[in-house]
């Protein structure tokens, strides 16, 4: 598959995933104090249902394209501290793996009926901080050197 197609698929999936995380953290958390507990629980439940149907495809595309692109840099990844690019790419991959673990934990908790508002908020805040760093690293890898 061409690099252009991989980058395009990766970007669209990243926009969908990161956009969802930003919405949940920056919009939903801001309205939480103004909305009743039961209404917020209903919103979280419905978002969770929709996310469980949509996000597996988004995640598969995001990580599949990401792995395919990372494969092209396997020589650099073999020596993660040899260059600033390799170091930032390695950190980005570690953060992405952590996001995947968070996602799996959220889906598992949700499927078992154990995803509470507190878990919902903590997971989303953690994922939010991860994706902000991933986006910064994605750009910095090509512009920052040391």
What pLDDT score was predicted for residue 93?
A: 97
Model confidence pLDDT, tens digit, residues 18-72: 999 999 899 988 898 899 889 988 987 898 789 879 989 999 999 999 999 999 9
What whole-number distance in Å separates Cα of residue 116 and Cα of residue 106? 10
Question: Any idea which residue has 């499927």 for tokens?
Answer: 111
pTM: 0.87
- In this structure, are residues 21 and 131 in contact, taking their beta carbons and an 8 Å threshold? yes
Whether residue 80 has pLDDT greater than 80: yes
What whole-number distance in Å separates Cα of residue 99 and Cα of residue 76? 23
Domain ranges in the chain are 3-143
What whole-number distance in Å separates Cα of residue 145 and Cα of residue 84? 5
What pLDDT score was predicted for residue 47?
A: 86
What whole-number distance in Å separates Cα of residue 97 and Cα of residue 108? 16
């Amino acid at each position: 598959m061409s690099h252009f197609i991989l980058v395009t698929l990766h970007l669209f999936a990243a926009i969908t995933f990161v956009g969802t995380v930003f919405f949940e953290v920056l919009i939903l958390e801001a309205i939480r104090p103004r909305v009743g507990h039961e209404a917020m629980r209903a919103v979280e439940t419905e978002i969770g249902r929709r996310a469980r149907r949509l996000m597996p495809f988004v995640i598969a595309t995001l990580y599949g394209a990401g792995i395919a692109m990372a494969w092209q840099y396997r020589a650099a990844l073999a020596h993660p501290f040899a260059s600033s690019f390799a170091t930032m790419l390695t950190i980005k991959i570690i953060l992405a793996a952590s996001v995947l673990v968070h996602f799996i934990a959220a889906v598992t908790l949700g499927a078992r009926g154990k995803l509470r508002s507190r878990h919902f908020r903590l997971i989303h805040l953690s994922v939010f901080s991860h994706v902000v760093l991933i986006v910064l690293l994605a750009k910095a890898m090509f512009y920052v050197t040391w």
